[in-house]
């Protein structure tokens, strides 16, 4: 009635009321009356929005990659965004009179595409496929550095790169190469396992040889110890024999000394007796033989006297012409024997 209208927006919508070129109302979740002929109403959604994207880019080695992801953003400065895009509504908050509200997501996707393309063009194919997280961080850093989002009044909440895929032909080539690499690694693993088994067998044999050497060394030490023990026993027995021999030698020496002493004593006794006999016979030695005979005859028996007489007759036989000995005399001599 008379051009008076009423509008009410939600908390995720920012409404700007222009009247005669001036802002009369601006805020989220407002409700107010306005005069339609002289008013312009712009409703900017400030809730987060998801924008999926997919596009192709070239790598450093001129390989095509398909980048798929999703951008989540929100309008952080509605008044700044409203100056760049026309969010004017007709009668209701969702009835825009232009297509500018749809251009904002497209422009953001273009910015993301340019940033991702610039980053991936610096990388070869394999690095670009293997490092989506590094690409994502680099893209966000570049967008923040150039202040492109701030100029649009937009804030990026998340940027997700869901896939970076090569073309089917390149993917098959990479798969074949990767398959060959995997098979090569499998062969190397088999070789390594065989080498490990051989090395383990060698270590086992070395351990066995070392054990045998250790046992041989122990046995040699035992034999040496036994030989040393036998030598020690033999040395002790030799010492015992030498001690016995030394004792016997000492005993024989003592016996020899005793015999020599006894001989010396006997010799001394004999010398004493000889001296005594010689001393007792010395006076007789000075007498002549006839005197000795006379002395013997004084105390001799008749037979001895007759023996001496016969002796003297024998000594003087050459002087005797004829000698007669009667049987009676001989009978007497024989009878006395």
Of 166, 183, 202, the position where a domain reaches its end is: 166
Q: Is residue 294, in this structure, part of any structural domain at all? A: yes
- State whether 9 and 147 are in the same domain: yes
Residue 114 pLDDT = 92
- Return d(Cα 138, Cα 143) in angstroms, integer: 9
- State whether 160 and 13 are in the same domain: yes
Q: Is residue 175, in this structure, part of any structural domain at all? A: no
Q: Is residue 36, in this structure, part of any structural domain at all? A: yes
Tell me: the pLDDT tens digits for 178-209?
A: 788 888 888 888 888 888 888 898 999 999 99
Q: Is residue 46, in this structure, part of any structural domain at all? A: yes
Confidence at 71, pLDDT banded by 50, 70, 90: very high
Q: Is residue 201, in this structure, part of any structural domain at all? A: no
| CATH number of the domain enclosing 70 | 3.30.479.30
Adjacency order of strands within the sheet including 39-45: 22-28, 13-19, 39-45
Q: Is the pLDDT of residue 320 over 90?
A: no
Of 117, 150, 166, the position where a domain reaches its end is: 166
Q: Is residue 296, in this structure, part of any structural domain at all? A: yes
Higher pLDDT, 83 or 310: 83
Of 133, 166, 199, the position where a domain reaches its end is: 166
Tell me: the pLDDT tens digits for 251-309?
A: 888 888 888 888 888 888 888 887 777 777 666 566 566 665 666 555 556 666 666 66
Q: Is residue 118, in this structure, part of any structural domain at all? A: yes
Confidence at 35, pLDDT banded by 50, 70, 90: confident
Tell me: the pLDDT tens digits for 102-148?
A: 999 999 999 999 999 999 999 998 888 888 999 999 998 888 887 88
Domain limits for position 327: 288-336
Give the chain's domain count: 2
Tell me: the pLDDT tens digits for 224-244?
A: 999 888 888 988 888 888 888
Region 82-99 average pLDDT: 88
- State whether 159 and 292 are in the same domain: no
Q: Is residue 93, in this structure, part of any structural domain at all? A: yes
């Amino acid at each position: 009635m008379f051009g008076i209208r009423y509008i009410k927006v939600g908390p995720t919508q920012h409404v700007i009321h222009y009247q005669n070129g001036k802002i009369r109302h601006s805020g989220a979740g407002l409700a107010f009356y306005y005069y339609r002929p002289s008013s312009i109403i712009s409703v900017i959604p400030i809730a987060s929005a998801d924008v999926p994207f997919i596009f192709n880019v070239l790598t450093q080695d001129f390989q095509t990659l398909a980048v798929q992801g999703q951008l989540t953003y929100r309008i952080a400065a509605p008044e700044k965004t409203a100056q760049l895009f026309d969010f004017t509504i007709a009668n209701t908050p969702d009835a825009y009179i232009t297509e500018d509200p749809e251009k904002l997501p497209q422009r953001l996707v273009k910015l993301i595409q340019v940033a991702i393309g610039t980053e991936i063009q610096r990388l070869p194919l394999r690095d670009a496929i293997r490092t989506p997280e590094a690409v994502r961080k680099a893209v966000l850093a570049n967008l923040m550095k150039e202040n492109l989002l701030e100029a649009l009044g937009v804030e990026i909440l998340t940027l997700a790169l869901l896939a970076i895929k090569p073309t089917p032909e390149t993917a098959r080539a990479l798969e074949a190469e990767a398959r060959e690499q995997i098979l090569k690694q499998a062969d190397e693993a088999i070789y390594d396992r065989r080498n490990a088994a051989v090395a383990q067998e060698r270590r086992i044999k070395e351990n066995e040889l070392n054990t045998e050497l250790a046992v041989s060394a122990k046995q040699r030490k035992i034999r040496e110890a036994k030989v040393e023990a036998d030598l020690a026993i033999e040395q002790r027995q030799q010492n015992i024999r030498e001690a016995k021999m030394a004792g016997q030698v000492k005993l024989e020496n003592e016996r020899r000394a005793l015999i020599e002493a006894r001989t010396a004593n006997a010799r001394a006794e004999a010398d004493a007796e000889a001296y005594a006999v010689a001393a007792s016979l010395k006076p007789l030695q000075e007498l002549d033989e006839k005197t000795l005979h006379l002395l013997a005859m004084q105390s001799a028996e008749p037979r001895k006297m007759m023996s001496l007489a016969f002796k003297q007759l024998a000594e003087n036989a050459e002087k005797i012409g004829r000698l007669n000995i009667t049987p009676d005399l001989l009978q007497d001599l024989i009878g006395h024997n």
